[in-house]
Amino acid sequence: IGLVTKNGILIVEFANQLKEKGMAIPEAIREASVSRLRPILMTSLAIAIGALPIALALGAAAKSRMSMGTVIVGGTLFSLVLTLFVIPAIYSYWAKPYKPNKQLKDADRFEHEATHIAE
């Protein structure tokens, strides 16, 4: 669960940063997804492949291990698909265009004026 959450947060956070830099929402989510694709694939597939010996277990108590391994492999691969396709789709639907905070602009202006007065 932690890996899937981290991957989703990283995609959304990177898209938010690109949006703040002035990029449109579709381009921001596309760029964020492309830049995070390789790390997401590597970590998710490493977990799935690492759990394959458990899913294909032989020997004593193999039945109980096989069900646990199957759940780990299947859940990891399913969450990979959700992370790569559903998170960007939901983000593009719910994201609002970036509007600079007017209060921050006013604070920056006041700070700039205050430093010039102090000099």
Task: Please tell me the predicted confidence (pLDDT) of residue 4.
Answer: 84
CATH of the domain at 107: 1.20.1640.10
- Alpha carbon of 87 to those of 44, 45, 51, 57, 114: distances in Å? 16, 18, 25, 33, 44
Task: Please tell me the predicted confidence (pLDDT) of residue 74.
Answer: 93
For the chain, what is the mean pLDDT? Answer: 84
- Structure pTM? 0.70
Residue 42 has pLDDT above 90, yes or no: yes
- Convert 62-93 to b/e letters by CB count within 10 Å (16 or more is b): eeebeeebbebbeebeebbeebbeebbeebee
* Confidence at 106, pLDDT banded by 50, 70, 90: low
**pLDDT tens digits along 50-95:** 999 888 888 787 888 888 899 999 999 999 999 999 999 999 889 8
Percent of the chain clearing pLDDT 70 (strictly above): 82
Could you tell me the residue range of the domain that residue 59 belongs to? 2-118
- Which H or E run contains 38? helix 25-55
Task: Please tell me the predicted confidence (pLDDT) of residue 86.
Answer: 93
Identify which has the larger pLDDT, 22 or 115: 22
Number of domains in the chain: 1
